[in-house]
A = this chain, B = another copy of it.
Amino acid sequence: MERLTEEQIVKAVEKAEGWKRDGKWIQRRYKFKEFMDGVHFVNRIAELSEEANHHPFISIDYRVVTLKLTSWHAGGLTDLDFELTAKYNEIYETL
């Protein structure tokens, strides 16, 4: 999958609710009522990452889970990263 152009990235970030650009990365902080809710979310994200063979950087800071995505093989952001932001948001909404 090819790296997106600057223009494509700007448009894609606009559509990715809650996600912010950080150079070659995009990231979002997800907040939870309880620590274990965040842990359950991470488990869902992990399963999806294995299926997609694309693994975000994940951090758990008590009740806040941060996900960061980039495509190493492409040296930047690709369509796959933005497909995953949409899926991650969907999982968050259904929890």
**A39 near B36: Cβ-Cβ < 8 Å:** no
Q: Which of A24-32, A43-51, A79-87 lies at the interface?
A: A43-51
| Interface of A toward B, CB cutoff 8 Å | 35-36, 39, 42-43, 46, 49-50, 55, 57-62
**Known interface pairs A36-B50, A39-B43, A49-B35; A59-B59 also in contact (CB < 8 Å):** yes
**B50 near A35: Cβ-Cβ < 8 Å:** yes
**Known interface pairs A36-B50, A42-B39; A57-B55 also in contact (CB < 8 Å):** no
Taken together as a complex, chains A and B put the C-alpha atoms of A36 and B91 apart, in Å, by 19
Which residues of chain B have C-beta atoms less than 8 A from A58's C-beta?
Answer: 59-60
**Interface-centre pick from A42, A43, A49, A58 (highest chain B CB count, 10 A):** A58
